[in-house]
Amino acid sequence: MSDQPITRRKLLGSTAAVGSGLFLSGCDMLNENEAFRGVLRSATDLNFAVHRSLGSRAALAREFPISERSPFFRGNGTQAPDNPAYQAAIASDFAGWTLEARGLFDRPGRWTLDQLRAMPQRTQTTRHDCVEGWSAIGTWTGVPLHMLLDQAGIRRDARYIVFRCADVMGGGIPYYESIDMIDARHPQTIIAHRLNEEPLPVRNGAPLRLRVETQLGYKQAKYLQAIEAVASLEDIGQGKGGYWEDVANYAWYAGI
Ligand SMILES: Nc1nc2c(c(=O)[nH]1)N[C@H]1C(S)=C(S)[C@@H](COP(=O)(O)O)O[C@H]1N2
Ligand SMILES: [Mo]
């Protein structure tokens, strides 16, 4: 598999152009030339670094060829939610699982897993970085979050999306996380249901988990049950926007 599509995406840096197939024919011809591709690659790496250092939140996280993927994508944090509701969901192979859209939506509601699988999908091979000091590269497939937000009619006063999870942490609190609308609408932010071409394993968040590739591991909420659109994080948990933010003072913005 070639990395050309990734190079193009970085170069174009525009969501609208990605995948449209427009304006690329000249580039396709140049891409045939190995020497040119070398130059292109270093130029886009530089461009990427500059974007990052200028703090461009629209920049894409690096994508990798499948050949660089980790042989095993380890689990971390909750790896086997032991609460009865989740255990029952495993037993039924997640047949009745839904993702709820609640809060500041004009059309709140629920998607079944089949509905999510029938929507346009994005697949990306990215590196996950955990603050505990490990990384892994994996291929994720899922629905771009912006499509769900639009389908459910996100309201203009929504400023954050809160992710509600099925696993219960210490103190009896279900895991939760949140991101702002820039990350929520980022093209690589997806509600993933597959890892490395297979349904998500339980340890990695079955049946649905967030991938927000611009941020660190603890933002990648697993066991997703609901997305909640809010105007403020004040009333979410203790007000810092996430489980680890509230209990251990982790940074809410964990950009990488
Ligand atoms: N619901 C839930 N999501 C979670 C966690 C968790 O314990 N519960 N742990 C986080 C942390 S710290 C990391 S590094 C990643 C681990 O993802 P993985 O289990 O797929 O490796 O999930 C994040 N999302
Ligand atoms: Mo982590």
Average pLDDT value for residue range 169-196: 97
pLDDT digits (tens, 9 = 90+) for 155-171: 999 999 999 999 999 89
pLDDT digits (tens, 9 = 90+) for 196-246: 999 999 999 999 999 999 999 999 999 999 999 999 999 999 999 999 999
Q: β-strands 98-103, 224-230: how paired?
A: parallel
| Atom nearest to 210 CA in ligand 1 | 24
Q: How far is the CA of 173 from the centre of ligand 2 (A)?
A: 18
User: What does 77-115 look like in DSSP terms, one character per residue?
Assistant: S-SS--SHHHHHHHHTTTTT-EEEEEESBSS-EEEEHHH
Residue 68 or residue 29, greater confidence: 68
Q: Is the CB of 174 under 6 A from ligand 1?
A: no
Ligand nearest to the CA of 74: 1
pLDDT digits (tens, 9 = 90+) for 117-152: 999 999 999 999 999 999 999 999 999 999 999 999
pLDDT band at 9 (very low <50, low <70, confident <90, very high): very low
pLDDT digits (tens, 9 = 90+) for 19-44: 333 333 333 444 444 454 444 445 44
Amino acid 56: pLDDT? 84
Q: Given strand 160-168, what is the order of strands in its sheet?
A: 109-112, 98-103, 224-230, 160-168, 174-180
Q: Is the CB of 76 under 6 A from ligand 1?
A: yes
Residue of 78, 167, 243, 245 to mutate, ligand 1, most atoms within 8 A of C-beta: 78
Average pLDDT value for residue range 56-79: 97
Unique residue bearing structure tokens 């993927």: 69
Tokens matching residue 160: 């954050």
Q: Whose CA is nearest to atom 12 of ligand 1?
A: 218
| 137 conformational bin, left if phi > 0, alpha if psi -120 to 50, beta if neither | beta
Q: Is the CB of 220 under 6 A from ligand 1?
A: yes
Angle between helices 4-12 and 34-53 (to 10 degrees): 50
Q: Could you give all domains of the chain from N- to C-terminal order, each with its CATH number?
A: 8-248 (3.90.420.10)
Amino acid 48: pLDDT? 47
Amino acid 27: pLDDT? 36
Distance CA 112, CA 142 (A): 13
Residue of 131, 211, 218 to mutate, ligand 1, most atoms within 8 A of C-beta: 218
Q: Whose CA is nearest to atom 20 of ligand 1?
A: 204
| Atom nearest to 195 CA in ligand 1 | 20
Q: Is the dihedral of CA 80, 86, 90, 91 positive or negative?
A: positive
Q: Is the CB of 77 under 6 A from ligand 1?
A: yes
Distance CA 121, CA 145 (A): 10
pLDDT band at 3 (very low <50, low <70, confident <90, very high): very low
Residue 72 confidence (pLDDT) above 80:
yes
Q: Is the CB of 248 under 6 A from ligand 1?
A: no
pTM of the model: 0.82
